[in-house]
Structure 1
Amino acid sequence: MTPVVAFGEALVDMLSSRLGAARGPETFTPYAGGAPANVAVACARLGVPSRFLGMVGNDRFGAFLIDEMRAHGVDTSGVVTTDEARTALAFVSRDSSGERTFDFYRPPAADLLYRLEHLPAGVFAKPAIVHLCSNSLTEEAIADTTLALAELANRSGSLVSVDANLRHNLWPNGQVDIGRATALLDCAQLVKLSREEVEALRGDHPVDAWLSQRLAAGVRLIVITDGPGPVQVHRLGQRLEIVPPPVKAVDTTAGGDAFIGGLLAILAEAGVDAAGFAGWCEDSERIENAVSVACRCGAHAVTRPGAYAALPSREDLDTLRASVRD
């Protein structure tokens, strides 16, 4: 089995008690979150060895995140604490369909201070599946660290996975650095995007041309989600489409992270690393089966509030599959 290593931000989602335009007192409940941390937890809950690399503040929220990750089986020996900045917070509001808006208390934040010298010794001694996202590109120093880490992972024979996970209000003036985000995508063999992220990143390029550029750069598989709509899977010369199971969304906070976590868990169980990924991608049926599992992971997650707390176990996936069949 190939271990999963996720790098980036761990933060606390302060989830509003309100749905949509509901009135009355509003309270916020803390849930452990952060996109790459969610993916590490998603893999661990599915029985895959996973590790999280990142930095949190030496404060109550940082301790809360570490405890939560450990409770779900994630190796946190690569998590660094600092007194130089606080743990990031995200205040999360939801509309009546569970879709979210975020108000981030970042920067400053501890996760932005992680540097290559904080990497544990031997972390890339053996090939792994290394997962990254664009939230660790929003400042120059952390972007340099992230891109250098991706290069180290590639040199080690690891399979690099990137989820764009764009949060425009984390970037200076709300403007994503498209060049920087695209550079990270092109470091990966597996890329996950939402339909909206494709539109944000492609600029003036037609969608098919932009996707072809990513595949020409070395990306083997591009997976595009669209909320409850069909998932598109692109590889050189072929496109597949998989329909996720219908569910009623309560909180979409970790839906995409559950999806990519489920897909990475399938790859990890198959022992796939960079050397084996091209061969794995040649089998359309295998891809469809793996993406179907990922869809069930995402569908389960959006039916529950919070991030870690909503991520499915194997038993949860079996229950969802049985209910959809009925």
Structure 2
Amino acid sequence: MSTFDLIALGRIGVDLYPQQSGVGLAEVETFAKSLGGSPSNVAVACARLGDRAAIVTKVGDDPFGPYVRRALWGFGVDDRFVGTDPRLRTPITFCELHPPDHFPLLFYREPSAPDLQLTEADLDLEAIRAARIVWTTGTGLSQEPSRSTTLTALRERREGSADALTIHDLDHRPMFWADPAEATRWAREALQYATVAVGNREEVEVAVGTRDPQAAADALLELGVRVAIVKRGPEGTLVATREQRWEIPPTPTEVVCGLGAGDAFGGALCHALLAGWEIDRCVRLASAAGAYVAGRLACADAMPDRDALLAFAGPALDGDAAREAAR
């Protein structure tokens, strides 16, 4: 069996982006359709940069299911682990555009989403163990059976090798949790098996009880991760290991839609880690990828290829080292 560079687990769907900015959904006249779902977009971002990526998820038995599969293939993401739920519909998400920092979302995922119906039988454990990176998310912990399935994947990684690179994106969406205390409980459980934790201030507060970046990084490291990444928006990113810390400045951009920035960040982070970069330089590339996508409308469709990202990153990276990461 061939090995994937990245296997992501979790959310997938269809995003509908308004073609009018600065107005509410009631006033929007036209929308553009795109592949959606954070871990799916991370897989797309990684594939666009030249890595072999796959997603473990489920779609509904409806016309949007084949659309999602075609979109994944079009972006270079393997869909062999994409199942179909015969009862539920492929989720749809609407957004509003109010740059630079207000992009409210409206999710249609009731009574549940197919991606939350992942069971342990849907996991190819051999592929999970063999993948160079596995990416999991907090949303995948919000309901059963997805919660147990996500934790099984994390445990398999840790039991297979303590050095396996497993990234847990805290990815907290309050509307997906009936009880905030449960979000905290399961985030902390997942982090015991991860090697890298990624989250913004709000997400780390849910996981470890503080939004202060330095204190949150301390708490994440105490839970067992080797790298804690705390995203601070326009203030940049804190990267912490047990030995060292870095303050990574933001990459300047004129924001059009910030919704795909975190997913682009994740895909570029994976790409640079796969290339063997030092962690601070990985996050510099990731920050540039996030800024690149924030300056464009849509998520998956806006993900840069290697040449575009390296050209955009410019002064943030040394040219020779940057090119080496893209090989």
- Normalised by the length of structure 1, the TM-score is 0.87
Q: Which moved more, 1:14-23 or 1:110-119?
A: 14-23
Shift of 1:54: 0.7
Question: SS of the residue aligned with 2:130?
Answer: coil
Unaligned runs of 5+ in 1: 271-279, 281-285
Matched-pair contact (CA < 8 Å) for 1:231–1:242 = yes
Residues 79 and 207 of structure 1: CA distance in aligned 2, closer, same or farther (over 3 Å): same
1:131 aligns with 2:168: no
Quote the Cα distance in structure 1 between the aligned partners of 2:289 and 2:260: 10
Residues 18 and 85 of structure 1: CA distance in aligned 2, closer, same or farther (over 3 Å): same
Question: SS of the residue aligned with 1:188?
Answer: coil
Matched-pair contact (CA < 8 Å) for 1:32–1:65 = yes
Match of 2:145 among 141, 152, 177: 141
Quote the Cα distance in structure 2 between the aligned partners of 1:125 and 1:198: 27
Matched-pair contact (CA < 8 Å) for 2:208–2:220 = no
Residues 24 and 136 of structure 1: CA distance in aligned 2, closer, same or farther (over 3 Å): closer
Greater fraction strand? 1
Match of 2:169 among 151, 163, 168: 163
Shift of 1:180: 1.0
Q: Which moved more, 1:116-125 or 1:27-36?
A: 116-125
In structure 1, the residue matched to 2:222 is: 216
1:91 aligns with 2:94: yes
Question: SS of the residue aligned with 2:285?
Answer: helix
Shift of 1:4: 0.7
Q: Comparing both chains, which one has the higher relative contact order based on Cα–Cα distances under 8 Å and sequence gaps of 6 or more?
A: 1
Matched-pair contact (CA < 8 Å) for 1:229–1:244 = yes
Quote the Cα distance in structure 1 between the aligned partners of 2:102 and 2:130: 39
Residues 56 and 24 of structure 1: CA distance in aligned 2, closer, same or farther (over 3 Å): closer
Quote the Cα distance in structure 2 between the aligned partners of 1:188 and 1:293: 22
Quote the Cα distance in structure 1 between the aligned partners of 2:27 and 2:252: 31
Matched-pair contact (CA < 8 Å) for 2:45–2:268 = yes
Matched-pair contact (CA < 8 Å) for 2:14–2:68 = yes
Quote the Cα distance in structure 1 between the aligned partners of 2:101 and 2:168: 25
Matched-pair contact (CA < 8 Å) for 2:188–2:223 = no
Unaligned runs of 5+ in 2: 318-327
In structure 1, the residue matched to 2:320 is: none
Residues 231 and 103 of structure 1: CA distance in aligned 2, closer, same or farther (over 3 Å): same
Aligned positions, number:
311
In structure 2, the residue matched to 1:74 is: 77
Matched-pair contact (CA < 8 Å) for 1:168–1:175 = no
Quote the Cα distance in structure 2 between the aligned partners of 1:72 and 1:213: 37
Please list the CA deviations of residues 34-82 of structure 1 after superposition, one character each: whole Å capped at 9, or x if unmatched. Answer: 0111111111000011111111112121211111111111111111112
Q: CA RMSD in A?
A: 2.4
- Percent identical among aligned pairs is 30
Question: SS of the residue aligned with 1:177?
Answer: helix
Residues 20 and 205 of structure 1: CA distance in aligned 2, closer, same or farther (over 3 Å): closer
In structure 2, the residue matched to 1:5 is: 7
What amino acid maps onto 1:300 in structure 2?
Y
Shift of 1:245: 1.6
Match of 2:64 among 51, 61, 67: 61
Matched-pair contact (CA < 8 Å) for 2:204–2:210 = no
Shift of 1:20: 2.3
1:110 aligns with 2:114: yes
1:259 aligns with 2:251: no
Question: SS of the residue aligned with 2:20?
Answer: strand
Match of 1:238 among 231, 241, 244: 244
- Normalised by the length of structure 2, the TM-score is 0.87
Please list the CA deviations of residues 11-34 of structure 1 after superposition, one character each: whole Å capped at 9, or x if unmatched. Answer: 111112332247955323221110
In structure 2, the residue matched to 1:194 is: 200
Shift of 1:204: 6.4
What amino acid maps onto 2:35 in structure 1?
A
Residues 58 and 297 of structure 1: CA distance in aligned 2, closer, same or farther (over 3 Å): same
Matched-pair contact (CA < 8 Å) for 1:168–1:176 = no
Matched-pair contact (CA < 8 Å) for 1:222–1:233 = yes
Question: SS of the residue aligned with 2:297?
Answer: coil
